[in-house]
Structure 1
């Protein structure tokens, strides 16, 4: 395979949010049905270094794309999450784990306001094993999630029939169960 046909592969702690994030948001989509289970409010952060060929949101790879994250947007997300029919929050991008300043602030507020009544999903180009070797902020964000869809999008493994994933190498991980057992536990509602 030609090198540019594969995503970038960072070494542990090579890419740090403190160095890269501009705390920009590519988009916020309230009340959608596509970014995880149930009705969700989805925050798309700006900036990603994986540069997966075939990325569905290539414009959001730019750390300066969109607009700065604000307290007003955070307040709106919390108000939208308060709706009884909303199941939870989804973090996408860009790369949430390269925007931990934004994502941690929001996720901590969600937990403060709703406890675990609202679930939190995140997509990432990092694999579970890579996140175990990463910076403290990335590990903290991981610890506050319910579901993680991990792994880079690999165009050669693209499969449009997969549930909540773009390529067959990606997994839907139950984060609390995985942290408790110290091994990857796949989401119980996975449809093969």
Structure 2
């Protein structure tokens, strides 16, 4: 079975200083199940809009920018295309860049379902920092760095998994 190297995206921001530390490439997933009230990017919710893009071209474009410190996956919901985002993340990590990922899911939910959903275990291996939780309008705070609402957390994935015990999560397989 061959792997389709096309990913459905809402867009790409070539250089950003607000989606993680340093200059970052931001890749916006198309499709989101959360429908957060007053979402910053409601145009990313539909699963049939956006554009199909070649992941190898995206990776090569990242490789050509020496200013980048990392890549951030945002949305839409990147975990809805985890197999595709893990393919990109693996290449990004091989370049020595960091990977941040925004998600409406909680870290706990991802851990509970990582071996039941396609690509989730793989993506979890490559994400350095997860910004988790749905945007909650009543907890919106423009003073927060890298987050839209106070319920969202900035999680160091590797350290958190070490504390919890990677063996229990079967992430080494």
Q: TM-score range by the shorter chain?
A: 0.7 to 0.9
Q: Does 1:47 align with 2:31?
A: yes
Evaluate the alpha carbon distance shift between residue 155 and residue 107 of structure 1 in structure 2; reply closer, same or farther with a 3 A threshold.
same
Relative to the length of structure 1, the TM-score reads 0.76
Map residues 104-123 of structure 1 onto 2, 5 A cutoff.
104-112=86-94, 114=95, 117-123=96-102
Counterpart Cα distance in 1 of 2:70 and 2:17: 11
Contact 2:22 2:69 in 1 (8 A): yes
Corresponding residue to 1:163 among 131, 145, 150: 145
Counterpart Cα distance in 1 of 2:160 and 2:84: 24
Contact 2:83 2:120 in 1 (8 A): no
Counterpart Cα distance in 2 of 1:63 and 1:108: 24
* Residue aligning to 1:186: none
Corresponding residue to 2:112 among 121, 126, 133: 133
Contact 2:32 2:77 in 1 (8 A): yes
| Number of equivalent positions | 157
Contact 2:28 2:74 in 1 (8 A): yes
* Residue aligning to 1:7: none
Instruction: Tell me how far 1:135 sits from its aligned partner.
Output: 3.7
Map residues 98-109 of structure 1 onto 2, 5 A cutoff.
98-109=80-91
Counterpart Cα distance in 1 of 2:90 and 2:125: 11
Question: Structure 2 stretches of 5 or more lacking a match?
Answer: 1-5, 166-173
* Residue aligning to 1:180: 162
Q: Does 1:36 align with 2:20?
A: yes
Evaluate the alpha carbon distance shift between residue 54 and residue 48 of structure 1 in structure 2; reply closer, same or farther with a 3 A threshold.
same
Counterpart Cα distance in 2 of 1:34 and 1:78: 23
Corresponding residue to 2:8 among 24, 46, 51: 24
Map residues 65-84 of structure 1 onto 2, 5 A cutoff.
65-71=49-55, 74-84=56-66
Instruction: Tell me how far 1:28 sits from its aligned partner.
Output: 0.8
